[in-house]
Structure 1
């Protein structure tokens, strides 16, 4: 008989299994003791897949439900016969890392989860039971309660809702919102220059222009990494005397990159970004991509430049490896743990600090609801230090001046 530490035993959950199917995005399921998918969980995860949820969402919800199943096993409770105290017990279990009805003596405590992670795990359980209620499950605990109070923002058709009150979770995690992480203009310039710089003596780019274009694109548009990697050449409409613009088009990607929410949108861009794209396109043609690619307009903007899969779309993992290389090269000059998503936060912050209307920023970011924008960037203030992040026009003027005089 094995001597198991109860504080470690608590985290033994049903196995979260990755599932790969040819020509489809990877997905996840939850495997039970019989090595088969757990039926009620799999029904819900399939609902998420069919309704267009991202693989990351499926994985996160599968993880939460796997922990919920483990918790129910510890309580000897059937999934369709839960009580209200099970929901509150699960919340406490996630926060403390201890099985039900157990306390710690001394200072050696199990690792605890962040409030954000606990909230996500709890949301996966709530959504799981809402789904099964739609299917006819009669469950005793109330998952939501009506409240006349709510956020100040109301949607245009809010008054048409059947129930004018706001539905709030009966068991929820109160989180202290943190400021979204941002980069300074100096840090952004350093990241781009690490990728490639323009040599005025030979009037050519040194380094990997593709990588610089990627970060320039994130800086100016606030695109998510999946949206940037999903761009094809037919989505990029160069100026030709008019404003250049991009189309963000939901479509399957060979490596799972995707447009979050599946929503199309149109983004106007600057002449400088358009010119950088033209330089990148010419480099691809110099490498012979147009000769080996049947339909260049349907090829991806960001592709491999070397290797066996040359000119194939790059993977998200490639971008994160690039971030790691840039971080190692500038270990004392860049914030630890920065990611491409920080460009999105910086872009939104800059727009808000320059007085752009919140609904315009929301549309540019591709948020379904302006309340999401308000919640994420409520921390933006008139602080003079933060205003430095919004100095895009001056930065652009300096950048143009350097290259126009070279």
Structure 2
């Protein structure tokens, strides 16, 4: 079945990097959507978020056009119909999908619907009457459960979307210590006989960095040598900068923060700097401080900034070389592994939140609360020991 859209998500090159908009059937920018996407850009949402929301609104505009319906004349039932079409992959298509067709994941559907509801919430604030009907005001009842920081919510109540897609949590994927060690060892190993590293030292450093710091891949690839403050009698640290310019549009999602690192990782960085100099980077690169730590060596512009796509392709190759690596593993697993390890070691939640760069500790709680909860529940497993200690205390 071929889907025929009458709205199109369009990539746009700007001086601040690529962004996205939506064109209508007449190939003109859809102004109500563009106003909302510009709001996302101006409030510092990532280009990936803008792209994802543009895709959701492309589907929504196609849905409206197929029904001959104006965007500001919709209700809850219309969004519900759109949700149903998303689930069977038939947005704007008159043909019934074939039996056995693969339905989109609920998480993908949830993102599409969130884009539409965010679009209408924005226009509700701008005075579009119908948009307000898609939200309801929720007031806390005496004795009811109050979410974290509920006391700072508006006294008139909170606005909540009438359409919500509930997704089942599948847990947070993590790597076992031996899996991460096997990957690093497969990348590069020290050869005492020759006194050199054999293999891809660049990737050994990258995986070690992601595991020890919890950085996002984009944040790691943005690092310049001036951001790595190597230890000289003090603990080494890395500065995650919020500078806007990057050749491939990567950005620091969480803004500026400092992350302290151990001596072993700092030494590995020093070894990589030495390897770069041996490859001639100190001669070819004009400004070392603004030179990217992770750069091209074999493909692309020599010593140019690496692309995330290159890392994903390389990891796919390593999954075939290291049998114990999960097939679905991505670089983001290191971030989850880092947070999980810190929490199981007893690190306070707010400290983990700051290290990960979450804007709100509630984000960390929502994502990783099960880690500490499971650990606490496991302490109840030895019931005999608990009752003996209880009896001895009486």
Q: TM-score, normalised by structure 2?
A: 0.87
1:377 correspondence with 2:376: no
Cα drift, residue 286 of structure 1: 1.7
Q: Which of 18, 25, 37 is the equivalent residue of 2:11? A: 18
1:126 correspondence with 2:117: yes
Gaps of 5+ in 1: 386-406
Q: Which of 16, 20, 30 is the equivalent residue of 1:38? A: 30
For the residue of structure 2 that corresponds to 1:298, the secondary structure is coil
**Equivalent position of 2:224 in the other structure:** 232
Contact 1:153/1:371, CA 8 A, preserved across alignment: no
1:137 correspondence with 2:131: no
Q: Which runs of 4+ in 1 moved over 4 A?
A: 98-105, 149-153
Contact 1:147/1:167, CA 8 A, preserved across alignment: no
| Mapped partners of 1:324, 1:100: distance in 2 | 36
Question: Structure 1's 13 and 119: CA in aligned 2 closer, same or farther, altered over 3 A?
Answer: farther
Q: Which of 60, 63, 71 is the equivalent residue of 1:68? A: 60
1:203 correspondence with 2:207: no
| Mapped partners of 2:198, 2:205: distance in 1 | 13
Question: Structure 1's 14 and 242: CA in aligned 2 closer, same or farther, altered over 3 A?
Answer: same
Contact 2:6/2:24, CA 8 A, preserved across alignment: no
Aligned-residue CA RMSD (Å): 2.6
Cα drift, residue 24 of structure 1: 3.4
**Equivalent position of 2:345 in the other structure:** 354
Contact 1:226/1:258, CA 8 A, preserved across alignment: yes
1:319 correspondence with 2:311: yes
For the residue of structure 1 that corresponds to 2:17, the secondary structure is coil
Contact 1:89/1:100, CA 8 A, preserved across alignment: no
| Count, aligned residues | 372
Contact 1:116/1:175, CA 8 A, preserved across alignment: yes
Q: TM-score, normalised by structure 1?
A: 0.85
1:185 correspondence with 2:177: yes
Question: Structure 1's 307 and 121: CA in aligned 2 closer, same or farther, altered over 3 A?
Answer: closer
Cα drift, residue 101 of structure 1: 12
| Mapped partners of 2:16, 2:199: distance in 1 | 34
**Equivalent position of 2:211 in the other structure:** 219
Listed as ranges, the matches of 1:67-86 within 5 Å are 67-86=59-78
For the residue of structure 1 that corresponds to 2:320, the secondary structure is helix
1:111 correspondence with 2:102: yes
